[in-house]
């Protein structure tokens, strides 16, 4: 089960709204535009996304600045349509125009090689691209809001609720949950 919400900071605190990302958003740019529409002036907007018991993501939009992203488990997120929006080439440390080495692809299954999957990465279906297990992105995305890198990386199953509590926005988040 997925949950996605926008938390927009205002003069009076945080305002929350739920969103169906798959209906409105196909790219990170679309997500940033959606978040900016929810912002009062150029205030901070957080997009909180979770797949129950698998991963969570935080996207921070501050005015017209580039989005800052943190994903708790890239490999789990890579298997999700929500996660695919967040796992940009830049976030994964890839050049956007990198084409996979066609000589390295196992196209007919007869090539020699180790068939064991690497414990540190998982291949995204059909892409030939490996995505690391574990967190990716900006672990300091919420530092100035009271959630440091250590706390962010330690969040578990109910991460979005814990983030909202730390921000003083748990009641407004619960209204859209």
What is the per-residue pLDDT for 87?
Answer: 93
Helix (H, G, I), strand (E, B) or coil at 63: coil
For residues 127-145, average pLDDT: 86
The C-alpha angle with vertex 59 and arms to 83 and 81, in degrees rounded to 5, equals 15
Give the separation between CA 157 and CA 51, rounded to whole angstroms: 9
What is the per-residue pLDDT for 58?
Answer: 96
Please answer whether residues 129 and 96 qualify as being in contact, where contact means their C-beta atoms are separated by less than 8 angstroms.
Answer: no
Task: Return the exposure string of 43-52: e unless at least 16 CB atoms fall within 10 Å of the residue's CB, then b.
Answer: bbbbbbbbbe
Poorest-pLDDT segment among 40-44, 76-80, 95-99, 158-162: 95-99
pLDDT at 123 over 60: no
Q: What confidence tier does 75 reach under pLDDT thresholds 50, 70, 90?
A: very high
Question: Of 163 and 1, which is predicted with more confidence?
Answer: 163
For residues 100-118, average pLDDT: 47
Give the separation between CA 139 and CA 159, rounded to whole angstroms: 14
Q: What confidence tier does 105 reach under pLDDT thresholds 50, 70, 90?
A: very low
Sheet containing strand 136-137, strands side by side:
13-18, 2-10, 44-51, 55-62, 68-71, 136-137
What is the per-residue pLDDT for 118?
Answer: 47
Q: What confidence tier does 104 reach under pLDDT thresholds 50, 70, 90?
A: very low
For residues 122-138, average pLDDT: 71
pLDDT at 56 over 90: yes
């Amino acid at each position: 089960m997925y949950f996605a919400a926008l938390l927009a900071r205002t003069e009076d605190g945080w305002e929350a709204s739920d969103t169906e990302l798959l209906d409105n958003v196909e790219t990170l740019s679309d997500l940033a535009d959606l978040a900016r529409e929810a912002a009062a002036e150029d205030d901070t907007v957080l997009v909180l996304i979770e797949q129950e018991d698998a991963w969570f993501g935080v996207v921070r939009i501050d005015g017209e600045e580039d989005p800052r992203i943190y994903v708790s488990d890239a490999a789990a997120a890579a298997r999700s349509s929500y996660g695919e929006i967040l796992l940009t080439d830049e976030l994964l440390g890839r050049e956007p125009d990198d084409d996979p080495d066609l000589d390295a692809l196992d196209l007919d299954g007869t090539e020699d090689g180790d068939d064991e999957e690497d414990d540190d990465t998982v291949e995204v279906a059909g892409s030939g691209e490996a995505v690391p297990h574990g967190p990716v992105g900006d672990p300091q995305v919420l530092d100035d809001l009271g959630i440091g890198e250590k706390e962010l990386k330690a969040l578990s199953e109910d991460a979005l609720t814990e983030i909202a509590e730390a921000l003083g926005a748990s009641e407004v988040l619960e209204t859209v949950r």
